[in-house]
Amino acid sequence: MTSSPATAPLSYKIAVLVFLENHAGEHLLLLRAKPPNLGIWSPIGGKLETAIGESPFECAVRETFEETGHRVTAADFHLFAMIAEKAYEGHSHWLMFLFRCTVPLAALPPTIDEGKFGFFSRAAIDVLPIPETDRNALWPIYDQYRDRFVALKADCAPGQPIVVEIEQITPAPR
């Protein structure tokens, strides 16, 4: 028995996003030249190399160097969030690990195959073309939890409002 495309299970992808700042506190974003998020701004990141057992921290280190040339170690990252996104754009599920790099980036990286870079103030990001989940979930999560840790889940089914639920906050709110 075969499944029709409408009822076929969605794949599950595991990835990291890295939130980098320069010395002025501006955030590095990449204007994506490839899907997903083609033509819109987002933090750097990428998929874990699961075939080699890469950890989320190893992936953050690798992606940061590959995309920006910024040499950092796992100790230079703070994992501030994990979010499970169901049915992102109706194509797949994502388990995303969100990292804040504690070592500022000295200069704007050169353009790469993935896209071109820009530094933006936090306020400027609110008016940029960014993914809906970034606007409604990821940046508010960054604003509130960047120095802590939060686990979330989000239902991103197409045609429905994105619903984000907190599953755990560490340390627990007082």
Give the tens place of pLDDT for each residue, 79-122.
Answer: 999 999 887 666 778 899 999 999 999 999 999 999 999 999 99
- pLDDT for the residue numbered 24: 97
- The DSSP symbol for 158 reads T
Domain locations in the chain? 12-170
Q: What is the mean pLDDT of residues 42-50?
A: 95
Find, among 144, 136, 143, 138, the residue nearest to 162 by Cα.
Answer: 136
- Please say whether the beta carbons of 29 and 111 come within 8 A: no
- pLDDT for the residue numbered 137: 81
Question: CA–CA separation, 119 vs 110, rounded Å?
Answer: 12
Q: What is the mean pLDDT of residues 37-56?
A: 95
The fold for domain 12-170 equals: Nucleoside Triphosphate Pyrophosphohydrolase (3.90.79)
- pLDDT for the residue numbered 138: 86
Structure tokens at 113: 């195959």
CB atoms within 10 A of CB 34: 10
